[in-house]
Amino acid sequence: MGGDGGGAGGRPYKVPLVPGPTASRDVKALHDAYPSPDLSPAFSDLYAMTQRQLRRLLHARDDITPVVQIGEGLMSLWGALKSVVHFKPISVTSGGTVSAAFRRRTRVLCVANGLYGEGFADMARSLGDHLVDVHVVLFPATSAIDVSAVSSAAREFRPDVITAVHCDTPTGLLNPADVMRALGALAAEHNALFIVDFVSSAGGAVVDITDWNVDLGCLGSQKVLGLPPTLAVATVSPRAWERIHDVGYAGYDGLLQWEGVGQDGKVAPYTHWWQGVAALHDVLVNLNLNDMVKRHNAARQYVLQRGAAMGLGLFVDDPSLSSPTCTAFRVPAGVSWATMNHKLVHEHGVGLGGSYGEFEGNVFRIGHMGYLQTDLKALQAGMDAVERVLNEL
């Protein structure tokens, strides 16, 4: 997808600057042996401690519940949507006859200025057009969200759910905190749940789910946190729990069965990955958010300066919208991204990212997310290689 192939011969890159999964630190907990998590109170204690660290990372209130599931980050998006959207008819028996009684259609308003924002709409539609109404407020993928336009759409559409993306990674755009705050306030005004994807921003940029009034937040382990793509985190507000109970979805990716896990010895609904949760806890305990935000901003600034010096066109209209975790440049005219990428990988051992959909072949991305990929020496080596390859093409 998007020309993000692995290193030569399938080996790891010498200089990994892909926008996720990121280069992973060797976290000791990943290799430790643990007893069965299904039976040991120690796992419940570990899970609860990890929840507390996630609240700290995301500026969450104590009544916000982080749920840690086994799965790639996208699982948290699916689980959030399916847990709060009535997408199945209910059967009613009357006089011995079973008839379908459909619930009121759930209205999902998707705010999009990028592929992942539109992806929320695709996911919601897949739950069934007969029970879910989806409206997309679409903005160019190069520019900011106009909250007034979203407000007008919300007044007319009267949503039950509003979705948004903090960092739309395929195009390297970060929606500013004031926009996220305004969207959260708008959701509250309409008594709608606010679902936010911050999979590729949390830890590298400030994510404040209390200030933004986020009801369901979505995070993955494979981006800034620098772990394998094996854990999905959803944060759940009290309002969201009410809707989750009303919907009653209890599938593998659903959130319903996770309520109370980590409290009073309640175990996870399926066998959990003790090593993964322990590794997540270790990363979070040792993460200084202020330092990480500064580190990511410095990486962003370095990449922007090097790109400008090379004459590369930034994809977003305004540099202030360029994410501290991922920078997207336009592929120069007359240059084949496939050729450029091949030379970077096979001649220099540098792994960058292409893009997807309408941007495939036209956009390439520098992934400066996580501790290892924000190292300025690694970024210098990567940008030096980009400069050499472009001079050769």
What would the pLDDT profile of 52-73 be if each residue is shown by its tens digit?
A: 999 999 999 999 999 999 999 9
Q: How many residues does the chain have?
A: 393
Helix (H, G, I), strand (E, B) or coil at 78: helix
- Counting DSSP H helices and E strands in the chain, the numbers are 10, 15
Does a structural domain hold residue 117? yes
Report if residue 2 sits inside a domain: no
Q: Tell me which of 285, 301, 319 is where a domain ends.
A: 285
* 8 A C-beta contact, residue 47 and residue 261: yes
CA angle 37, 39, 42 (to 5 degrees): 60
Looking at the fold, whether 123 and 255 belong to one and the same domain comes out as yes
pTM of the model: 0.93
Q: pLDDT for 286-334, tens place per residue? A: 999 999 999 999 999 999 999 999 999 999 999 999 999 999 999 999 9
With pLDDT > 70 as the criterion, what percentage of the chain qualifies? 91
Residue 143 covered by a domain: yes
Q: What is the CATH number of the domain that holds 57?
A: 3.40.640.10
The H or E element containing residue 2 is none
Give bridge partners of residue 140 from the DSSP assignment. Answer: none
- Find where tokens 């400069």 sit: 387
Last residue of a domain, one of 269, 285, 301: 285
Instruction: Quote the pLDDT of residue 98.
Output: 44
Question: Range of 274's domain?
Answer: 28-89+100-285
Residues 279 and 330 in one domain: no
Q: Which of 256, 285, 314 is the last residue of a domain?
A: 285
> What is the greatest pairwise CA distance in the chain?
79
> Are 281 and 367 within one domain?
no
Residue 48 lies in a domain: yes
Asked, for residue 110, whether it belongs to a domain, the answer is yes
Looking at the structure, tell me whether residues 261 and 356 fall in a common domain: no
Cα–Cα distance for residue pair 360/27, rounded to 1 Å: 34
Statement to judge: residues 298 and 377 lie in one domain: yes
365 marked as part of a ligand binding site: yes
The structure tokens 């007044």 sit at: 155
In a domain, 1, yes or no: no
Virtual CA dihedral for 343, 347, 348, 353, nearest 10 degrees?
30
For residues 42 and 175, membership in a common domain is answered with: yes
Contact 113, 164 (CB under 8 A): no
